[in-house]
């Protein structure tokens, strides 16, 4: 890198991934500045030692920055995090949808609000420890899956716009987790063997129901009835916020076959249950679609993920008006869930993605759901 070094702001969470990211960028000749976002409100019930939003994250990040010889700052994003991520999380459950807060945090905070701080510090890029590959070309950027299939996080970055991708760096995309930990050990970083968090950062114990009770208060829950697919009343429930598509726990007993949540009607606060066959979906729609290629360049067949842990399945994706798209699955899939992100791939390249909506396409066997019949 000739001439003046390009400055990059690295989001340091105190974990091994962002720590090695910081080292690699410095090694590549960038002028690196580390930043840790303080995102926990003072009353956050998840303010624990093992959380990336907890106080120990700042201490770990500061220690790594000192070890690597880079400046480190803390920026207070607690108000924005609550407004843009936590409130979104709660409101989605209240609307009978299942949210994906990590996508929203990346789009609106890490590669959104944080850019103001980066620009103020004279940075040209924002870097994170995501396992994804971003290729920068003269007139556009390409988002691809990370090399390590088990850790790939391109799904969580699908909603980034071209201007965000153009100033984003993800140097871990071509590496595996064991390689990253080995580098951290060679550098003598205390976080080299720090356990990865498998949870939503602000939800302790991954118990989102307890979090909602604390954040909203049970008096705010939408109570109602549990009904089968024929409209027969089975039992009362304590709130649609307690349910998600495909759920088995917390449902009435006495059925000759296992029952699953197959739909949630937020207008009537009804939870609809049925058999596993009632979860099968052949077609659905998404809104707020973010395309990474022009619509006339969308391949005829794509691999579509309906949730992060989904392996992907072949589908035809048809762009519609008002930033929507229709997805026709070549092989029907189980538990397509409103509120989750669906991301489209051509090989390892992200072509686009959107948010699954509740529509008539979400079917219960050959019968339309309550939501579709409204």
Residues classed as catalytic: 105, 201
Distance from C-alpha of 131 to C-alpha of 139, rounded to nearest angstrom: 23
**What is the gyration radius of the CA atoms in the chain, in angstroms?**
22
Distance from C-alpha of 208 to C-alpha of 203, rounded to nearest angstrom: 6
Q: Which residue has the tokens 């088995």?
A: 248
Q: How far is CA 46 from CA 39, 196, 259, in A?
A: 11, 16, 32
Q: Which tokens sit at 309?
A: 């842990």
β-bridge pairing 341-346 and 302-305:
antiparallel
> CB count, 10 Å around CB of 93?
26
Q: How far is CA 207 from CA 20, 38, 49, in A?
A: 30, 22, 17
Distance from C-alpha of 275 to C-alpha of 281, rounded to nearest angstrom: 13
Residue 115's closest CA among 153, 164, 82? 164
Cβ contacts of 11 within 8 Å, gap of 6 or more: 18, 35, 36, 37, 110, 114, 126, 127, 128, 129
Distance from C-alpha of 363 to C-alpha of 110, rounded to nearest angstrom: 36
Instruction: List the beta bridge partners of residue 223.
Output: none
Distance from C-alpha of 372 to C-alpha of 368, rounded to nearest angstrom: 6
Q: Is the dihedral of CA 40, 181, 159, 242 positive or negative?
A: negative
Distance from C-alpha of 161 to C-alpha of 91, rounded to nearest angstrom: 24
Cβ contacts of 49 within 8 Å, gap of 6 or more: 55, 56
């Amino acid at each position: 890198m000739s001439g003046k070094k390009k400055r990059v702001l690295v989001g340091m969470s105190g974990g091994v991934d962002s720590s090695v990211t910081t080292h690699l960028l410095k090694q590549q000749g960038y002028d690196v500045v580390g930043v840790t976002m303080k995102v926990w409100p003072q009353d956050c019930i998840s303010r624990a030692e093992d959380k990336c939003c907890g106080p120990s994250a700042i201490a770990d990040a500061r220690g790594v920055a000192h070890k690597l010889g880079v400046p480190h700052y803390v920026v207070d994003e607690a108000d924005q995090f609550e407004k843009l991520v936590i409130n979104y999380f709660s409101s989605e459950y209240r609307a009978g949808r299942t949210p994906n807060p990590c996508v929203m945090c990346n789009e609106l905070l890490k590669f959104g609000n944080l850019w103001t701080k980066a620009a103020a510090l004279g940075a040209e890029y924002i870097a994170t420890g995501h396992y994804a590959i971003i290729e920068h070309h003269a007139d556009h950027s390409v988002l691809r899956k990370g090399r390590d299939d088990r850790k790939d996080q391109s799904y969580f970055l699908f909603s980034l716009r071209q201007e965000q991708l153009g100033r984003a760096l993800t140097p871990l995309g071509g590496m595996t987790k064991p390689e990253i930990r080995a580098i951290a050990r060679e550098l003598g970083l205390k976080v080299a063997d720090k356990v990865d968090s498998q949870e939503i950062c602000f939800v302790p114990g991954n118990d989102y129901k307890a979090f909602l009770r604390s954040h909203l208060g049970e008096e705010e829950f939408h109570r109602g009835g549990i009904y089968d697919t024929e409209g027969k009343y089975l039992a009362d429930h304590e709130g649609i916020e307690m349910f998600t598509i495909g759920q088995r726990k917390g449902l009435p007993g006495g059925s000759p076959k296992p029952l699953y949540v197959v739909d949630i009607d937020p207008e009537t606060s009804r939870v609809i249950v049925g058999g596993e066959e009632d979860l099968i979906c052949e077609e659905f729609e998404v809104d707020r679609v973010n395309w990474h290629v022009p619509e006339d360049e969308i391949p005829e067949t794509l691999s579509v993920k309906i949730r992060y842990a989904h392996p992907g399945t072949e589908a035809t994706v048809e762009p519609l008006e008002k930033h929507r798209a229709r997805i026709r699955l070549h092989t029907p899939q189980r538990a397509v869930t409103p509120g989750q992100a669906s991301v489209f791939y051509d090989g390892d390249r992200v072509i686009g993605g959107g948010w699954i909506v509740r529509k008539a396409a979400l079917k219960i066997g050959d019968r339309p759901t309550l939501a579709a019949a409204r």
